[in-house]
Amino acid sequence: MKIKDFIVSFIVLYVMLRLDVSSLDAQDCSEAWLQEAKFQLDTFIISYRPQTGLNYSDSINSKIKSYRLEDCEATYWINYYRAELLELNNRHQEALDIYYTLSSTAKELQKWDLFVSIQISIARVMETINRGDDCLRHLKMAKEYIDHKQLLNLYAFYGVRMSSYQRIFNSKDSAYFYAQQAVDYGIKYNAPRQIADGYYLLGILTSNIDTSYYLLQQSYKQFLLNKNYNGATSMAKNIQNKIKNTKFSNQSPAWLDTISKYIVLIKEHNYTYHYLLNKYYEEISDRYFFKNNLDSAYYYLKLSKEHMKQSDINVNQTEISQAEIDNITSTERFKAEALTRQTKFQKILLSILVLGLISALIVAYNLNSKKIKIEKQRTLIQNQNEELAHSFQRQSMLLSEIHHRVKNNLQLVISLLTLHFNKVKDNKEYQYLEDISNKVRSIALIHEHLYHTEQFEKIELKSYLKDLLEHYLALHTSDTEFAYEIIEDQAIHLNLETVMPIGIICTELISNSLKYGRRPDQMLKLEFKLQSLESKYILKFHDNGIETNRKFTDQIKSGMGTLLIDSMVRQLQAQSSPTINGTASFNLVFQEKIISKV
């Protein structure tokens, strides 16, 4: 902890210890400022100003304690809003401490609006830390009380959270239903926050571009009405991404200008602000790169990377058991009781803090002296390496952008192929163009991996195969679904020259299995096994399909797919086993290709 922070913490604690409230009389819970504070905190949440709201709640809580208004209903809501503000600041454990304590109090006092709101908020935290079962448990509890107590004014809030849960953990169809319910009830009961979130969920869940564009614009307008410029900017970016490569693409520059217009109105420069700037500068960099203005492209790419680092946060996913929940509740009650008393222990603690402060200042002085000497030596070394580091950073960023641009160009090729084979009526020509599109996609995935991981020399094979299979899953309907499994004994990382032909081979194997391997009695399952054996690697492919349509091997051997697989095997200088139309079973033994370091 820095000395400045330590001194500030000491002063705050000193004031708390010296505060004597025993002589103050209890005040009326109908105090106008108490109701105004509740309204103001709700406004901070709707307009997404979490840090400002948290600071305001701290000052209000001090005033509440001085007037001994802890047991007022408005105070309970103020504490609830404080928990929401902590949640928005990614302080989830502190938020849960308040939620669980308030939950018991609200249930005991039969404050059902507050109780249901707390259950839905806890579900939101559980979704954030990826605890789906706990999220659903609290949502079901909220729904039970909404129905039993007829709290229809809270159904929009419930609908947003249930839609989000369904989208992440279960069914997108159910997610769409609850998002529509959220919008309908939000409009009926004037819940502006839920209206904005509901339209956003509908927009991302809708496949039709016209409908999606309209719904996302409705969400954007609602965020502006809420004066939530953070949300409005984020929604403008979502819209700008959504309409790329569509009939609305000519409106993309206007939405980029909208982002620029509202991002400057965001008052709190937290991680979401930096994330939005990261995406905005990345888009500007892409545009300059497309115009071959590399200096400007590099400048904005550098700004993008700087804001990306500042937006990088990690959500604490610590397990929270039921026993811990009970402990949190009892601890919170103990703290509430302890704050009403001023004891000798507090005075002793104050003395210890004074001595600790003096000791810390002495230690800090000695450490600072040593730090100055070390800093001089470090500066000398840093000056010598600075020019080299700058050059390396520039080359890395440009290489990253090249892979990004290659991926985008390949995606453009795929889009052109898609536009063409959607128009053809000949099924053979359609299949031929779709096969070409899938092969180009397998190459584009490689460059996408290199761009996102910023590891330009190696690609993790299992992750690449997973993305390739997920691509095929996204192309098929529920009638043609398939399952897959990727097994590896250890992580395998290969260079670009090795992964490229392997990707084409796997694309052909997957395509053939989907064409010829389906059987009516069970779902098609594709299985990849990856093994390391000294300096060699083994890739095994197998599906559980029938062989009825794959017995004409003499005819198939001359097919384009088999010729392509054989060509890629020769390029790898690898060994492969006989196959049934290249799908039923396939083994490949290969080594990583040696490339020049120049």
Closest-CA residue to 397 (of 494, 312, 470, 297): 297
* 371-393 residue pLDDT tens: 888 888 888 888 777 777 665 56
Q: Could you tell me where the beta strands, DSSP code E, fall in 37-76?
A: none
State the Cα–Cα distance between residues 396 and 454, nearest whole angstrom: 8
| Residue 179 and residue 205 in contact, taking contact as beta carbons nearer than 8 Å | yes
State the Cα–Cα distance between residues 124 and 152, nearest whole angstrom: 19
**Do both 481 and 383 map to the same domain?**
no
**Do both 386 and 461 map to the same domain?**
no
Query: Does residue 155 fall inside a structural domain?
Result: no
- Residue owning tokens 């959500």: 315
**16 has a pLDDT exceeding 70:** no
**Do both 392 and 491 map to the same domain?**
no
Mark residue 150 as left, alpha or beta (left: phi above 0; alpha: psi -120 to 50; beta: remaining). left
| pTM for this predicted structure | 0.52
Band (pLDDT 50/70/90 cuts) for residue 409 is low
**497 has a pLDDT exceeding 80:** yes
Band (pLDDT 50/70/90 cuts) for residue 553 is very low
Question: What pLDDT, on a 0 to 100 scale, did the predictor assign at position 53?
Answer: 92
Angle at 59 between CA 52 and CA 56, to 5 degrees: 20
| Residue 255 and residue 232 in contact, taking contact as beta carbons nearer than 8 Å | no
- The residues, ordered by sequence, that sit 6+ positions from 181 with a Cβ below 8 Å of its Cβ are 155, 156, 159, 163
Query: Does residue 493 fall inside a structural domain?
Result: yes
State the number of CA atoms in the 13 A half-sphere of 135 facing the CB: 21
Query: Does residue 278 fall inside a structural domain?
Result: no
Separation in Å, CA 496 to CA 431, 448, 564, 569: 28, 12, 19, 15
DSSP state of 145: H
Least trusted range by pLDDT, from 351-355, 445-449, 482-486: 445-449
| Residue 440 and residue 434 in contact, taking contact as beta carbons nearer than 8 Å | no
**322 has a pLDDT exceeding 80:** no
- The residues, ordered by sequence, that sit 6+ positions from 130 with a Cβ below 8 Å of its Cβ are 317
Please report how the helices 229-242 and 271-290 are oriented relative to each other, as an axis angle in degrees rounded to 10: 30
Query: Does residue 439 fall inside a structural domain?
Result: no
| Segment holding 379, helix H or strand E | helix 344-421
Closest-CA residue to 53 (of 67, 65, 42): 42
- Residue owning tokens 């000798």: 344
**Do both 463 and 582 map to the same domain?**
yes
Domains identified in the chain, total number: 2
Total residues found in the chain within this entry: 598
Band (pLDDT 50/70/90 cuts) for residue 19 is very low
Question: What pLDDT, on a 0 to 100 scale, did the predictor assign at position 218?
Answer: 96
Question: What pLDDT, on a 0 to 100 scale, did the predictor assign at position 24?
Answer: 35
State the number of CA atoms in the 13 A half-sphere of 285 facing the CB: 22
Q: How many CB atoms lie within 10 A of CB 526?
A: 24
**Do both 375 and 510 map to the same domain?**
no
**146 has a pLDDT exceeding 80:** yes
Q: How many CB atoms lie within 10 A of CB 127?
A: 21
Question: What pLDDT, on a 0 to 100 scale, did the predictor assign at position 228?
Answer: 93
State the Cα–Cα distance between residues 195 and 565, nearest whole angstrom: 53
DSSP state of 71: T
Least trusted range by pLDDT, from 56-70, 218-232, 504-518: 504-518
State the Cα–Cα distance between residues 106 and 383, nearest whole angstrom: 61
| Segment holding 56, helix H or strand E | helix 50-66
| Residue 541 and residue 526 in contact, taking contact as beta carbons nearer than 8 Å | yes
Question: What pLDDT, on a 0 to 100 scale, did the predictor assign at position 359?
Answer: 84
**Do both 474 and 595 map to the same domain?**
yes
Least trusted range by pLDDT, from 59-63, 99-103, 417-421, 484-488: 417-421
- Domain's final residue, options 376, 397, 418: 397
User: What is the domain range of residue 481?
Assistant: 457-598
- Residue owning tokens 């590399």: 294
| Residue 281 and residue 275 in contact, taking contact as beta carbons nearer than 8 Å | no
Band (pLDDT 50/70/90 cuts) for residue 407 is low
Q: Which residue has the higher pLDDT, 414 or 216?
A: 216
Determine the average pLDDT of the residues in 16-27.
44
Tokens of 66: 């001085």
Query: Does residue 426 fall inside a structural domain?
Result: no
Query: Does residue 250 fall inside a structural domain?
Result: no
Tokens of 173: 């169809």
Query: Does residue 339 fall inside a structural domain?
Result: no
> Mean pLDDT across the chain, nearest whole number?
81
* 291-304 residue pLDDT tens: 888 888 889 889 88
* 428-440 residue pLDDT tens: 776 777 777 777 7
Band (pLDDT 50/70/90 cuts) for residue 7 is low
> Exposure of 486 by Cβ count < 10 A (0-12 exposed, 13-18 middle, 19+ buried)?
middle
- Residue owning tokens 């000497």: 373
DSSP state of 489: S
State the Cα–Cα distance between residues 247 and 507, nearest whole angstrom: 30
**277 has a pLDDT exceeding 80:** yes
Query: Does residue 564 fall inside a structural domain?
Result: yes
**Do both 501 and 594 map to the same domain?**
yes
| Residue 561 and residue 576 in contact, taking contact as beta carbons nearer than 8 Å | no
| Residue 216 and residue 235 in contact, taking contact as beta carbons nearer than 8 Å | yes
| Interstrand relation of 585-590 and 482-488 (parallel, antiparallel or unpaired) | unpaired
Tokens of 183: 């919008």
* 441-475 residue pLDDT tens: 777 777 676 666 666 678 899 998 998 898 888 87
CATH code, domain carrying 487: 3.30.565.10
Determine the average pLDDT of the residues in 122-137.
94
Least trusted range by pLDDT, from 212-216, 554-558, 593-597: 554-558
- Domain's final residue, options 382, 397, 412: 397
3-class SS of residue 62: helix
Separation in Å, CA 499 to CA 97, 442, 560, 576: 49, 10, 21, 16
Distance linking the first and last C-alpha atoms of the chain = 47
DSSP state of 519: B
**548 has a pLDDT exceeding 70:** no
- Residue owning tokens 């979401």: 272
| Residue 226 and residue 214 in contact, taking contact as beta carbons nearer than 8 Å | no
**503 has a pLDDT exceeding 80:** yes
